[in-house]
Amino acid sequence: MPSRTRPGVWGWRLAVATGVACFLTLVGLPLVALVVRVPPGELIRRAASEPVLQALRLSLVTSVSATAVVALIGLPVAYLLATQEFPGRRVLETLVEMPMVIPPTVAGVGLLLAFGRAGLAGSALRAVGLSIPFTTLAVVIAEAFVALPFFVTAATAGLREVEPRYREAAATLGATPPYAFRRVLLPLALPSLAAGAVMTWARALGEFGATITFAGNLPGRTQTLPLAVYVALQSDVEAAVALSVILLIFSFTLLLTFRSLTAARALGPRAHRSRP
Amino acid sequence: MLTARVRKRRAARAAASDFALDVDIAQEEGRTLVVVGESGAGKTTLLRLLAGLEVPDAGRIALGDDVWFDDGAAGVARPAWARPLSYVGQDYALFPHLTVRDNVGFGLAARGAAARATRERVAAVLDRLAIADLADRRPRELSGGQQQRVALARALAPDPRLVLLDEPLSALDQGTRQEVRGELRELLARSRCTAVYVTHAPVEAVLFGDRIAVLEQGRLTQVGDREELLRRPRSPYVASLLGVNLFHGTIDRGPAGGAGLVHVRTTQGSLVVPDPGLTGEVYVSVNPRDVTLYLSPPVGSAQNIMYGEIAEMVPQPPDGERVRVVMRTKPPLVTEVTRAASETLRLAPGVWVHAGFKATGAAVYR
């Protein structure tokens, strides 16, 4: 009996198609609405203006810095979570996920109360002559805070996916843990680490709430592109839309590029998954 | 001398009972010890303990004066990477992102050898294993036999003092296995490192090892040279894998059937055997060819008679003129008769027969 005549198949297809159509409407339509609102000429003229370039530059610098910071402090955490069993592990795992679930504005308040002038670490920071709030550094910290879970989650999964037999093979060949990490674990987990870094960067680029709370909204110093959109919205809707479209095109292009690159890699045989 | 006295208990999973490995090994350096046992006997656990991938509950592991593990006052527990050994697992675990050359050089580089020395040594090892032409390939581009050779090259390149081999031939097809087995034997003999080779296949053990240890349920039941094992099996497992009959009992010096004969009391009854000049517990082994089958109780020279039902009959060899007859006795008595005899007696599974062997057909040893 041909499968298409069997009951349930058409209903199933219809359900999938409906879901996809709803998704396209929900996520696609607002994006399309933004893009068609501004004529291309107007967009280019706006994009070339100094305030926009300034915000874009600041967004780029801070989001890339935040990604670097996250990778640096996230990798040890991911390594610990992926390779060790220890008491308090669940607590640490939950802590890693926290920035993902708390509202960014709450994160900003928390950062202010921790690293602000009157914060817990404020006097210690003042003692070394450091004042963080309302600086570009504060933007980086705010972005790193909210984006960290994306990297740590992906990196932990990636490191855990490397089969123990490779770690054991390295150990029996005389590789110390750091050597094995550098030459076996890291290269094998690299695709996951890269994916985590890209998601981290994308999240950092779109960060708004924590930034405006902790770093303020100073053009040229802490006013990133999302903040500039918010400000523009109060006075000039057309400008806000143009800024949004620039941000949108920018991130869409980068995500798509990364996706194509990893897809090309994944098409090759993933030999380390299959056993001989 | 490689000495390992280790104990490792593993908690029960589900319904299975607790498993405990408890062995004591003393192996002369420069030779190969083959450990043979069924799956679940603890072979891999033993290797992992020696390698340092797992920590024994108690015991001591040392190679010469070099102590790797000691639960005593000294409290030594060296991690795997601090032991001068190599380990070849069942699935090789070649690093997928490295070329054959870098895989083979890994152990040297990891132990801090100079780049130049590593290059030369790798070239020499690849040459010796006849895989120099594969140097720039990655593991996924290799056949099973080639992967096996690379895994061996990687293990031998750092010149380890101890090589641990966990069923290294099991992933190969029959033809390749034979070829690689020969090469491996020669390689180990020439490199003069100590090796522990684990296998579940008795044939493999007999073909490979000069010294064989039999592991049954976490315990070594027999350790000795191949000849010794073949001639004097000391456990039902070894006997069954060699296809001989084995009895275990105690010498009874009561009145025996004749001059130079004694009784051995076993749980299955008493046997009459040649006097070995021993007392106490002994093993009695009987070659299947020395056992004769009768349909009615025999009169005459056979001093040992057992009565039982035939469980199965296997041509020996598969197309041969002899038939191996296994009886449903305890332990299962195995006899070998000619095809002609089996046809004359109309032997078949389910038929009840008397099996007899002469006292002089039994080998008695401790």
Q: Looking at residue B302, what is its pLDDT? A: 60
Average confidence score pLDDT of chain B:
86
pLDDT digits (tens, 9 = 90+) for A41-66: 888 888 788 888 889 899 999 999 99
Name the CATH code of domain A43-273 (choices 1.10.3720.10, 1.10.10.10, 2.60.450.10, 1.10.645.10): 1.10.3720.10
In the predicted structure, residue B37 carries a pLDDT above the cut 80: yes
Residues in contact with A164: Cβ distance below 8 Å, sequence separation at least 6, in sequence order: none
The pLDDT of A96-120, averaged and rounded, is 91
Q: Looking at residue B136, what is its pLDDT? A: 92
Percent helix, strand, coil in chain A, to 5, is 80, 0, 20
Check if the beta carbon of residue B164 is closer than 8 Å to that of residue B87. Answer: yes
Burial zone of B220 (CB within 10 Å; 0-12 exposed, 13-18 middle, 19+ buried):
buried
Chain A residues within 8 A of B53 when measuring between CB atoms: 168, 171-172
At residue A207, the 3 state secondary structure works out as: coil
Q: Looking at residue A3, what is its pLDDT? A: 52
C-beta atoms of A272 and B96 within 8 A:
yes
In the predicted structure, residue B14 carries a pLDDT above the cut 60: no
Q: What is the maximum alpha-carbon separation in chain A?
A: 81
A24-31 long-range contacts (CB < 8 A, ≥24 apart) are: A31/A248
First to last CA, chain B: 26
Domain ranges for chain A, please list them: 1-37, 43-273
Average confidence score pLDDT of chain A:
88
In the predicted structure, residue A275 carries a pLDDT above the cut 50: no
Number of DSSP helices (H) and strands (E) in chain A, helices first: 14, 0
Neighbouring CB atoms inside 10 A of B83's CB total 23
Check if the beta carbon of residue B3 is closer than 8 Å to that of residue B60. Answer: yes
Q: Which residues pair with B353 in a beta bridge?
A: B308
Length, in residues, of chain B = 366
Q: Which strands form B304-316's sheet, in the order they lie side by side?
A: B292-294, B352-357, B304-316, B322-327, B334-338
Chain A residues within 8 A of B89 when measuring between CB atoms: 165, 168-169
pLDDT above 70 covers a percentage of chain B that reads 95
In the predicted structure, residue B256 carries a pLDDT above the cut 60: no
Nearest to A226 by CA among A95, A6, A52, A88: A52
Q: How far apart are CA A137 and CA A144, in angstroms?
A: 10
Q: Are strands B292-294 and B352-357 parallel, antiparallel or unpaired?
A: antiparallel
Higher pLDDT, A114 or A3: A114
Mutant choice from A168, A172, A183, A272 vs B, greatest count of B C-beta within 10 A: A172
pLDDT digits (tens, 9 = 90+) for A198-238: 999 999 999 999 999 999 999 889 999 999 999 888 888 88
Check if the beta carbon of residue B85 is closer than 8 Å to that of residue B163. Answer: yes
| DSSP character at residue B130 | T
In the predicted structure, residue B171 carries a pLDDT above the cut 80: no
Q: What angle do CA A107, A113, A116 make, to 5 degrees?
A: 110
Rounded alpha-carbon distances, angstroms, from residue B276 to A61, A132, A273, B253, B273? 91, 93, 59, 11, 8
Residues in contact with A81: Cβ distance below 8 Å, sequence separation at least 6, in sequence order: A89, A92, A93, A96, A152, A156
At residue A270, the 3 state secondary structure works out as: coil
Nearest to B27 by CA among B203, B200, B161: B161
Q: Looking at residue B53, what is its pLDDT? A: 92
Residues in contact with B83: Cβ distance below 8 Å, sequence separation at least 6, in sequence order: B51, B52, B68, B162
Q: Which strands form B219-225's sheet, in the order they lie side by side?
A: B85-88, B162-166, B194-199, B32-36, B211-216, B219-225
Check if the beta carbon of residue A112 is closer than 8 Å to that of residue A118. Answer: no
Interfacial residues of B (vs A; Cβ cutoff 8 Å) = 51-53, 79-81, 84-87, 89, 91-97, 106-107, 109-111, 138-140, 144, 147, 154-155, 158, 164, 171
Q: How far apart are CA B195 and CA B188, in angstroms?
A: 8
Q: Is B56 left (phi over 0), alpha (psi -120 to 50) or beta?
A: beta
pLDDT above 70 covers a percentage of chain A that reads 93
Q: How far apart are CA A38 and CA A4, in angstroms?
A: 46
CA B247 vs. chain centroid, Å, equals 21
**A271: nearest CB among B51, B96, B164:** B96
Q: Which residues pair with B195 in a beta bridge?
A: B32, B163
pLDDT digits (tens, 9 = 90+) for A155-201: 999 999 998 899 999 999 999 999 999 999 999 999 899 999 999 99
CA B217 vs. chain centroid, Å, equals 13
C-beta atoms of A176 and B81 within 8 A:
yes
> HEC string of B69-82?
EECCCCCEECCHHH
Chain B residues within 8 A of A276 when measuring between CB atoms: 91-92, 94, 139, 144, 147, 171
Name the packing angle between helices A50-83 and A186-205 (round to 10°).
Answer: 140
In the predicted structure, residue A269 carries a pLDDT above the cut 70: no
Q: Please provide residue B23's backbone torsions phi and psi, each rounded to the nearest 5 degrees.
A: -135, 160
Check if the beta carbon of residue A92 is closer than 8 Å to that of residue A81. Answer: yes
C-beta atoms of B89 and A165 within 8 A:
yes
Q: What is the maximum alpha-carbon separation in chain B?
A: 80
Rounded alpha-carbon distances, angstroms, from residue B163 to B69, B152, B187? 17, 10, 12
Positive or negative, the Cα torsion across B290, B296, B302, B307? positive
Check if the beta carbon of residue B308 is closer than 8 Å to that of residue B328. Answer: yes
Instruction: Name the amino acid, one letter, at B103.
Output: N
Q: How far apart are CA B92 and CA B149, in angstroms?
A: 10
C-beta atoms of A169 and B79 within 8 A:
no
Q: Looking at residue A14, what is its pLDDT? A: 93
CA distance A163 to chain B (A): 9
CA B350 vs. chain centroid, Å, equals 33
Mutant choice from B53, B143, B196 vs A, greatest count of A C-beta within 10 A: B53
